[in-house]
Amino acid sequence: MANDVHGSAERRLRLALGLTFSFLVVEVAVGLWSGSLALLSDAAHMLTDSGALALALTAQRLAARPRTGTHTFGLRRAEILAALGNGVALGLGAIWVLSEAVQRWSTPAPIHGPAMLAAATAGLLVNLASAWVLGREHHDHDHGPDDHGHHHHHHGPNANVRAALLHVLSDAAGSAAAIVAALCVLLWDLRQADSIASAVIALLVLGGSFRLVRETLPVLLEAAPANLPAEALEATIRATPGVCALHDLHVWQISDGFPIVTVHVVLDGSRHGTEVARDVAERLRRAHGVDHATVQPEARPPDVLVPLHPPGFHG
């Protein structure tokens, strides 16, 4: 099952990469010939898309590899690194387009409207086709069992495919802006529309770039996943019979949908430590969907066992 889903994600990424890269060449050629910055910026955006999809494809293959003695979690985090790389590449591309659009505003270049309109329309169709291919990933909810027999549930595409999808969708919006600009050039000879469209595309890209960086950095900084606050996990653990205290609770995620929890629980003496540990792990799985929990049971230290009366009591 895991291989099927990784394989289907890989097929989608490969198909989207083929579509995007093949049209990128056409858009660059028409952009240079027609003199349209909006087309060139859309092509630059498509180049980052192609890079993003190539990164995503590489990450998908790395993530599907079994874990080894060196990489005990496998290479699943490659997905997150690829998504972060995508975000940074998008941002840098957007800044270049913005600076170029500002220069063009004061000295608009001559533009061939019909060619610009034809290329922008074709670009929109290519992007929508790529988005449709990547969006179908939403139907794959389960990454199948890993080598521990645990299932990783994904509500929608993984971070990696989502990153690629975001590129393609923002590029589709960019192609739409280029279509509007081409119509303005054709109908009213408004060459500045080309600069405006370029700036709109760049701002779209910057927004997407910021979102990707904001989503991936917390994972790399070992932050607790947004849907798994430490307080909620602590409440679940404290409510387990046999637990009187806990310490060293850590929660982080290796990649999207792969959370890990480790905790030391102090036993109250009413149940066996292995039973309590198993119960805590089971409750974390049922209540929070955590498949990878390491629970360390500990006896209460002697100084906790001695005072049976409240502090200050002198019998």
In terms of pLDDT, which residue wins out, 36 or 145? 36
Position 52 scores a pLDDT of 74
Whether the full predicted model's pTM is greater than 0.85, yes or no, is no
Q: Is 108 left (phi over 0), alpha (psi -120 to 50) or beta?
A: beta
**Residue range 164-175: mean pLDDT, rounded:** 83
Cα–Cα distance between 64 and 196 in angstroms, integer?
Answer: 43
List the one residue out of 9, 113, 93 whose CA is nearest residue 51: 93
For residues 150-158, average pLDDT: 51
How is 224-247 classified by DSSP, letter by letter?
A: PPTTS-HHHHHHHHHTSTTEEEEE
Provide the token pair at 269: 């003496």
Q: What is the DSSP letter of 136?
A: G
C-alpha to C-alpha distance for 19 and 15, rounded to whole angstroms = 6
pLDDT of residue 304: 53
pLDDT, mean over the chain: 83
Tell me if 136 sits within 8 A of 13, measured CB to CB. Answer: no
Q: What is the pLDDT of residue 5?
A: 60
- Region 246-264 average pLDDT: 92
Backbone angles phi, psi at 146, to 5 degrees: -90, -165
Any idea which residue has 């850590």 for tokens?
A: 250
Q: What is the pLDDT of residues 34-93, one digit of tens each?
A: 888 888 888 877 877 787 778 778 877 877 788 888 888 878 788 788 888 888 888 888
Residue in 174, 178, 213, 215 with CA at minimum distance from that of residue 47: 174
Kindly indicate the confidence band of residue 261, based on its pLDDT and cuts at 50, 70 and 90.
very high
For the four alpha carbons of 95, 195, 44 and 11, in that order, the dihedral sign comes to positive
* pLDDT at 4 > cutoff 90: no
Judge whether residue 166 has pLDDT over 70: yes
Nearest to 279 by CA among 235, 245, 232, 236: 236
| Stretch 110-132: mean pLDDT | 92
Q: Which of 11, 54, 292 is nearest to 140 (CA)?
A: 11
SS3 for 196-217, per residue? HHHHHHHHHHHHHHHHHHHHHH
Is pLDDT larger for residue 304 or for residue 285? 285
pLDDT band for position 8 (50/70/90)?
Answer: confident
Q: Do 48 and 90 meet the contact criterion of CB atoms below 8 Å apart? A: yes
Q: Which domains does the chain have, with CATH numbers?
A: 2-220 (1.20.1510.10), 230-305 (3.30.70.1350)
Mean pLDDT value of segment 293-311: 71
Please, which pLDDT band fits residue 202 given cuts at 50, 70 and 90? confident
Number of H helices and E strands in the chain, helices first, is 9, 6
Distance CA 52, CA 209 (A): 12
Cα angle 69-285-10, degrees, rounded to a multiple of 5:
55
User: Is the CB of residue 164 less than 8 Å from the CB of residue 134?
Assistant: yes
Half-sphere exposure of 206 (CA within 13 A, CB side): 11
261 touches 291 (CB < 8 A): no
| 3-state helix vs strand vs coil in the chain, percent to 5 | 65, 10, 25
